[in-house]
Amino acid sequence: MSLRLTLLNFVLRAVEKPYLARATDVAALRRQFDRAAERWFIHPEGARYRPYRLGGVKVLEASQGRVDRRRVLIWFHGGGFFQGSPETHRHLGAALSARCGARVILPRYRLTPEHAYPAALEDARACYEALLRAGYDPAHIAFGGDSAGGGLAFSLVLDAHARGLPAPACVVAFCPWTDLTLSSASLRRNARRDVMLPFTRLAEVRDTYLNGADPQDPLVSPARARFPEGPPPALIQASRVEILEDDASAIGARLQAAGGLVRMQFWRRTFHVWQLLQGRLQEADQALDQAGAFLALHLGKTEPEEG
């Protein structure tokens, strides 16, 4: 474990976790996340960002270096379905673009408490359908996301299958939240070891998102779903000391049970979605290198064009 990771873990435990445990003002939480993103997240040199609409949904496209415009990663940002945005995660999109040679599209999906389930999933589907209508080959489209966005990526795989849409080329998920029944053993096992996420607030966040929907619904909790035979290959990265450790393990097991190719990667001492600290934290850069290689392989990377 690097010295910088040790220091970050200390700061998160001392400052961020207590703040998240007591904060109740959603607008203030969003502002705090936005300020943290501006202060701490590093944008890769030469990163490019372009806003537009896709399937009626506002998106931000991130790219860096030379990209093959026919290959796309749709990345769903994390934030518990109530905070986060394409702006807080655009640097991550650019970093992944640089590593896999594809464009990264970050949807501005609707958030709670203004918009409960299934609004986020509807927006995710709209983006994917728009790419398909535009003639993009599903074999050149990947889904990805972190935390709540990671769970959303797997929900979209299930939703697409139910609607007769083709599966994507692959899925990449960082610390995904995939079981909203809140029955994962790691929620309690790692409650004290997790340096950032307070387990005591998870039910509140879940209930606001569901607004009465059944947490056992597979589209809500994909870790409880029966995936179609031969699901897309998946790379899942998580920490051994975060409360969502078992959510990552459970979704991986479900995909493997359906015959899917799954790569599970666990870090021993990292915090929740440490990949956001790319450029500052060597463990983040290492994780993104592996994610980028996985994406490049399954998207069938070819000679790129200027993007």
SS3 209: helix
Helices (H), the chain: 3-11, 17-22, 26-40, 86-100, 119-133, 148-162, 186-189, 202-210, 245-257, 282-298
> b/e map of 91-116 (b: 16 or more CB within 10 Å)?
bbbbbbbbbbbbbbbbbbbbbbeebb
Q: Which structure tokens are listed for 73?
A: 């990663």
Catalytic one of 97, 272, 283, 298:
272
Residue 43 designated active-site: no
Residue 87 designated active-site: no
Cα separation, 225 vs 163, in Å, equals 16
Cα separation, 153 vs 85, in Å, equals 15
Upstream peptide bond of 138 is cis (omega within 30 degrees of 0): no
Catalytic one of 242, 249, 283, 298:
242
CB 235 within 8 A of CB 255: no
Catalytic one of 147, 155, 221, 249:
147
Residue 272 designated active-site: yes
SS3 94: helix
295: nearest Cα among 163, 120, 142: 142
Active site positions, annotated = 147, 242, 272
